[in-house]
Structure 1
Amino acid sequence: MQILSPDEWTALLLSLKVSTIAVGASLPLGVWVALVLARSRMPGLWLLNALVHLPLILPPVVTGYALLLTFGRKGLVGAWLDRLFGFTFAFQWTGAALAAAIMSFPLMVRAIRLAIEAVDPKLEQAASTLGAGRLWVFLTVTLPLIAPGIIAGMILAFAKAMGEFGATITFVSNIPGRTQTLPSAIYSFLQVPGAELQAARLAGVSVTVAVGALIASEFVARRVAKRIGGA
């Protein structure tokens, strides 16, 4: 008995691909932004914080439309990318990854920021007084201590990216085999009379993946925290 049809497998695998790339590509920036928000005292920091969390406040369709205006083939950045490199985000799976990364970025940053704020600055200061540079202090002191927070942020971002729909369908449409992710496939089935069973099946797959990701994140975070505590 076949669990999913070939088209449904394609949508699931594309969602996994998009979510993984979205999280991996945005992680370095997420750690840096979280570090700035947690440690910096520069003026205007509230503006950066507002920009980071803006995708959580705006309707996803508005975010998707903004992406279309910016990264579309005739957009501010998209036209330049298309002209120089022949590359475009709009109506491509790469655009779905970009939309997923932007929508999940606030959750990642928030989890990592909370982890950084929980680190005692005196530990970092002690390493600095021993002659360690700022980068070395971060790599050897701060990074190991915030590792559980980074893992939690990555999993939260992954789960959000897997469920992203509004910005994605606005920016890259719903093209089967090309930009149709799991939520888009569920939406398509709901538009077809008598396809409720297929929609429910994909919804069940989506829930299973999300729960599995959360369980995995809890397990890994606990292992990392235990290893740090025993170090």
Structure 2
Amino acid sequence: MRRAYQTLAGLVMGLAANAYGSTLVVHVDDGHGHPADSAVVTLQSPGGDAPAAPPATATHTIDQRNETFIPYVEVMRPGEQVVFRNSDNTRHQVYSFSELKRFEYVLRPGTSSPPLTIEGSGIIAVGCNIHDEMITYLFVTSAPARVTGKDGNAQFEGLAPGNYQLRVWHPQLKPGDQGARLEAVVAEGSPAAPLNVHLTLLPDPRASMDREHMGY
């Protein structure tokens, strides 16, 4: 499996405006200069400098609207729950064959699945047995994690100076590509600059949705 490794020795991030520490900004693009949204950036530090993640108490909701799972990627912690809601006017059959969690729900319009608890860490691909282009991903991790927005940016705040390891993953990576792994050094009192990450991504599979036959 091909892994993209980058070492950014001496990468220095400035202090955030608040008093809680430094801010690390990660910018992800698709390898052609276009911002890559829905990339997951996880942060780890052997020295314990990473901000603590919140307790695993949340219930996440994955909606289905216009025959699309919303959001495309959802970050969860082990032990948290997820609910699938059908806001469409057509039936959906939500399923996953993931080794981490296998499940299947038939959802009529306006209904929701029971809360599903996800134990362990990993990536769960979720589809619809009726509409093949519908797909979402549950990224389950105990590490602090952020999902890039439309601008391709993910931001971590409140960091103490130290060495950090980052992983950048995207659902449209080529098969076998585990994404980028980076090492960064955060030091106090220097100008902030984004950390740029380049990924090679496949076309968005949701773009091939046959909207002409929506609602059947």
TM-score w.r.t. the length of structure 2 is 0.29
Choose 1 or 2 for highest CA Rg: 1
Structure with greater contact order relative to length (CA < 8 Å, sep ≥ 6): 2
TM-score w.r.t. the length of structure 1 is 0.28
Considering fraction of residues, name the structure with more helix.
1
